[in-house]
Amino acid sequence: MTETRADTICVIDDDQAVRESMVALLEASGYTVKPFASADDFLRRQGSQSTDCLLLDLNMPGLNGLELLELLRSRGVTAPAIVLTANGERFGARLTRAGVLKVLHKPVSETDLLQWIETALASRKASPTGK
């Protein structure tokens, strides 16, 4: 049985199959996972609650992952962010300015995803604010 960790990962992806597979993988790896179908869904349900890591799809209807991250950063949210995309090259500089830790291109290997989440969580714990 996998031990449950205190770390909470928010998965924001409009593709239900991708979202469900990420939730299954992360929960099987012991994380607490909160899935959201869109940026608006995240803002409505998560609000100002803290999270330890954001896993964002870049291309979604409404606010895209980058726009959501920029909004969260403007509100003082410092949680590390990993962006998933099939095509994110056009946002390169903006992704860097928004503090994206890593851009992973779909399809993402489970090993790479889990390694980058561990890196994100380690960076959060090493941060002076710990937010």
Q: Where are the domains of the chain?
A: 8-124
- Parallel, antiparallel or unpaired: strands 53-57 and 8-12: parallel
> Tokens 């349900």 appear where?
45
pLDDT value at position 131?
46
**One digit per residue, pLDDT tens: the chain, 131 residues?**
456 567 999 999 999 999 999 999 999 999 999 999 999 999 999 976 889 999 999 999 999 999 999 999 999 999 999 999 887 567 778 888 899 999 999 889 999 999 999 999 998 877 655 44
63: its two tokens: 């606010």
CATH C-level class of 8-124:
alpha beta
CA 97 to chain centroid, in Å, comes to 16
Q: Where are the beta strands (DSSP E) in the chain?
A: 8-12, 32-36, 53-57, 81-85, 100-105
Q: Which amino acid is at 98?
A: A
Q: How far apart are CA 109 and CA 114, in angstroms?
A: 9
Q: Are 107 and 119 in contact (CB under 8 A)?
A: no
Q: pTM to 2 decimals?
A: 0.90
Task: State the alpha helices, DSSP H only, in 75-127.
Answer: 92-97, 110-126
